[in-house]
């Protein structure tokens, strides 16, 4: 099975930088995803890490350390529209479980002026 932990809520100021952490425990790791979900909407894909290191995509970056079971999502130059929930999800390795994702409960980010 898998266990995924991330903070429930965070607040940050417009224009600032925020880091959302995610720790996981899994029997077989095969990739970590970050999704963004605005209130009342569907989750949308943000980033994917399968090797250690930093993946950068515009204002968003995601980092992975497989040995520590740890990832973070970094949001720079925060905008009001970044207020949303951010979901960390882990994919298992092998067997029927290799296609499914296990999601954390999400971190609700509030960006204030």
Partner 1 sequence: DARVTQTPRHKVTEMGQEVTMRCQPILGHNTVFWYRQTMMQGLELLAYFRNRAPLDDSGMPKDRFSAEMPDATLATLKIQPSEPRDSAVYFCASGLTSGRYEQYFGPGTRLTVT
Spatial CB neighbours of 61, under 8 Å, sequence gap ≥ 6 = 47, 54, 55, 73, 74, 76
How many angstroms separate the CA atoms of 65 and 50, rounded? 9
**Size of residue set near partner 1 by CB under 8 A:** 21
In this complex, which beta carbon is closest to partner 1, that of residue 40 or of residue 113? Answer: 40
31 neighbors 38 (Cβ within 8 angstroms):
no
- The nearest distance, CB 17 to partner 1, in angstroms, is 25
> Considering only residues 19-78, where is the footprint of partner 1 by CB under 8 A?
31, 33, 41-45, 48
> Considering only residues 77-106, where is the footprint of partner 1 by CB under 8 A?
87, 91, 96-106
């Amino acid at each position: 099975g898998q266990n995924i932990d991330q903070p429930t809520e965070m607040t940050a100021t417009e224009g600032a930088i925020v880091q959302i952490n995610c720790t996981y425990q899994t029997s077989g790791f095969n990739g970590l995803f970050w999704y963004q979900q605005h209130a009342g909407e569907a989750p949308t894909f943000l980033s994917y890490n399968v090797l250690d290191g930093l993946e950068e995509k515009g204002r968003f970056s995601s980092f992975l350390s497989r040995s520590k079971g740890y990832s973070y999502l970094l949001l720079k130059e925060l905008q009001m529209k970044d207020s949303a929930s951010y979901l960390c999800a882990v994919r298992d390795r092998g067997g029927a479980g290799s296609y499914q994702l296990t999601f954390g409960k999400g971190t609700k980010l509030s960006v204030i002026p």
